[in-house]
Amino acid sequence: MAELVTALGHDAAHLLARRFGGTTLYVPRLIGEHHPLRVLLGDDAADRLVQWFAGSRLSVPKQPTRRARVVELRRGTALTIPQIAIETGYSERHVYRLLGAIDADQLDLFDTAHNQP
């Protein structure tokens, strides 16, 4: 997502993720006036998309806000994993995977390897 934001700007990158998140798009070397990407993003962002990704396949990430919503629902509500999956449109397995990745990224305060002087 960071590369998309750098290439397109925040608003256009999130617009692309909302519309095509979770898919792979071919970015043509030339995006015509009526091409769906130009219609969605506008002229400026479509031209930047071509500058960065022309002729390649682009894996568009799912909406980062949906991932944040998983964490928010887990920490701020009494919803179960299946309920969170229904609420966010993810599978239960993916909700577990997202929550596991977030937990793995957090530093263990009791890990002696990191707490030695």
pLDDT digits 0-9 by tens, 20-47: 888 899 999 999 999 999 999 999 999 9
Same domain, 85 and 98: yes
Same domain, 43 and 70: no
pLDDT, position 104: 52
Question: Rounded to whole angstroms, what are the CA distances from 116 to 36, 38, 105, 106?
Answer: 56, 55, 20, 18
d(CA 73, CA 89): 13
Residue 116 lies in a domain: no
| pLDDT band, very low/low/confident/very high, at 89 (cuts 50, 70, 90) | confident
Residue 115 lies in a domain: no
Residue 92 lies in a domain: yes
Question: Rounded to whole angstroms, what are the CA distances from 88 to 23, 28, 48, 81, 105?
Answer: 17, 32, 31, 11, 22
Residue 113 lies in a domain: no
Same domain, 68 and 32: no
17, pLDDT greater than 60 = yes
d(CA 11, CA 15): 6
pLDDT, position 67: 76
The domain tally of the chain equals: 2
pTM greater than the 0.85 cutoff: no
Range of the domain at 8: 2-59
Residue 82 lies in a domain: yes
pLDDT one-digit tens code per residue, 55-66: 999 988 876 667
